[in-house]
Amino acid sequence: MSSTMNSSIPSFSDDGSDETSRMRARPKRKKKKFEFRTRNHLITRFLHFLSRWWIVLVFLLAIFVLGFEVSRIGKKIGDDPKLKPKLELKPKRNNHGYGREIESTSNLGRLDMPTRIVNGTREPCLKILPLEEVQHMEFPSDTETNSFVKKVVYKSDKNEGIQNTPAQLYKEGSRFNAFTGYQSLLEREKSFKVKETVMVQCGFYSENGGFEISDADKDFMQSCKAVVSTCAFGGGDDLYQPIGMSQASLRKVCYVAFWDEITRATQEAEGRRIGEDNMIGKWRVLVVKNLPFTDQRLNGKIPKMLSHRLFPQARYSIWVDSKSQFRRDPIGVLEALLWRTNYSLAISEHGARSSIYDEGKAVVKKHKATPEEVELQLAQYRRDGFPEFKRFRGKKALAEASVIVREHTPLTNLLMCHWFNEVIRFTSRDQLSFPYVLRRLNALKINMFPVCTRKALVNSVGHRRKVKPLVI
């Protein structure tokens, strides 16, 4: 009986029964199987994702690599002072006076040469000689002009026997004054007739006409044989130092900037003062007194178009608008655009339009002149038989004219006098009148160079501030 009782009593061990062990083992086996299936499923989904989106992933990887390289190169530029973009401390007027702020002028100081594709070949926009060759060049010897025009006589109150006051010279409804002299339509028509000796109005008509320059500045201007000039009247622009020239060119070429009192006051307020030697950097600054026009745009046409009158001993001149920085050797530019190609005038062509009639519409649309002013000018040109053409001798008929390179010959001087008179008679937008004058003379071959070449000559900055009108 005891044995029976013993057999009915279940036995236990310290390690647990086999049944319990099997129960514990089974969940482990199921967990491993579940984990294995989960891993397979994730791998399958990952491979499916890769097969579907691998192009996007490669693209993102490429962007990451590119960004990394750009940041690495940027760090090198930041560490190298020669490669840093130039920063200028630009004064800024506020309610409390002039504070200082750092303004990026990274477009200044660039000497890189832009290129273009010509007949499938990439070429520089300006084929200028290296400085090593340019610095040994001299101006060509004087040669007799082969132009039919041999002499231009500039009208004045003295050679016309007129002793009028500025008020008597002024005609109602026109901008002619004692500086320009009054040109009738009949005189205008006669002056376009090309002959050996031509008499024409060309500014500086009367000693009482204005645009007064000091005797010391006049003596300096008389000494210039070649000149690079610019002007900023009304305080609209800063003065940008020319770059890219040889030391030999600095000795042979004058750099002259025309200012008025408004510009001088504006620049002095921003810490830029004319030195005791009348210089700011490489520029000789001439402060002009008694400007003849209240419209500063017209005052700016005097140094732009009448350099042969301002620099009577100069044989060559290069005009650069004040919104640009001249960045080439001037003698190299003369060689590339005039001497090599046997031209006496080179001017930048218009980048957007080719016809003066299209330009007239754009001028009105941009509020550069009134519709009445533009229509008066274009109506006169239509009466004079000026066609609607967009090409002249295979080149664009419309000039942009922010860069002018020329030899002071009787014919180019005559063209500039006519151009100045048209700007005074009609609108100050000189792009409208240049093609007309060029066609009327019809005896001058010019180098109308493309926008690409202009960009090779100057770094464009743009106008800095609104021009202040002259108050008389």
pLDDT bucket at 105, cuts 50 / 70 / 90: low
Tell me which H or E stretch contains 403: strand 399-407
Give the integer Cα–Cα distance in Å for 50 and 35.
Answer: 22
DSSP-based three-state secondary structure for 435? helix
Q: Count CB neighbours of 386 within 10 A.
A: 17
Are 440 and 380 contacting, i.e. CB atoms less than 8 angstroms apart? Answer: no
Question: Alpha carbon 21 to chain centroid distance?
Answer: 91
Share of the chain above pLDDT 70, in %: 77
Per-residue model confidence as pLDDT tens digits over 271-324: 999 999 999 999 999 999 999 999 999 999 999 999 999 999 999 999 999 999
Per-residue model confidence as pLDDT tens digits over 357-379: 999 999 999 999 999 999 999 99
Per-residue model confidence as pLDDT tens digits over 207-226: 999 999 999 999 999 999 99
Tell me which H or E stretch contains 99: strand 97-104
pTM, entire model: 0.76
pLDDT bucket at 20, cuts 50 / 70 / 90: very low
Q: Is the pLDDT of residue 421 over 60?
A: yes
Mean pLDDT in the chain? 82
pLDDT bucket at 405, cuts 50 / 70 / 90: very high
Question: Alpha carbon 358 to chain centroid distance?
Answer: 22
Taking residues 152-180, report their average pLDDT: 72
Taking residues 420-447, report their average pLDDT: 92
Structure tokens at 363: 């001028």
Taking residues 184-211, report their average pLDDT: 94
pLDDT bucket at 161, cuts 50 / 70 / 90: low
Mean pLDDT lowest among 40-49, 151-160, 325-334, 393-402 = 40-49
Taking residues 18-42, report their average pLDDT: 53
Taking residues 382-397, report their average pLDDT: 79
Q: Is the pLDDT of residue 165 over 50?
A: no
Residue given tokens 């002249």 in the structure block: 392
Give the integer Cα–Cα distance in Å for 426 and 315.
Answer: 30
Mean pLDDT lowest among 35-39, 102-106, 463-467 = 102-106
Give the integer Cα–Cα distance in Å for 83 and 299.
Answer: 39
Q: CA nearest 456: which of 130, 125, 128?
A: 125
User: Any idea of the CA torsion for 361, 295, 458, 465, to the nearest 10 degrees?
Assistant: -100
pLDDT number for residue 72: 64
Q: Count CB neighbours of 323 within 10 A.
A: 18
Measured N-to-C along each axis, helices 430-441 and 410-425 cross at an angle, to the nearest 10 degrees, of 140
**259: which DSSP letter?**
E
Give the integer Cα–Cα distance in Å for 223 and 423.
Answer: 29
**232: which DSSP letter?**
E
Residue spans of the domains in the chain: they are 33-72, 127-460
Are 235 and 193 contacting, i.e. CB atoms less than 8 angstroms apart? Answer: no
Share of the chain above pLDDT 90, in %: 61
pLDDT bucket at 414, cuts 50 / 70 / 90: very high
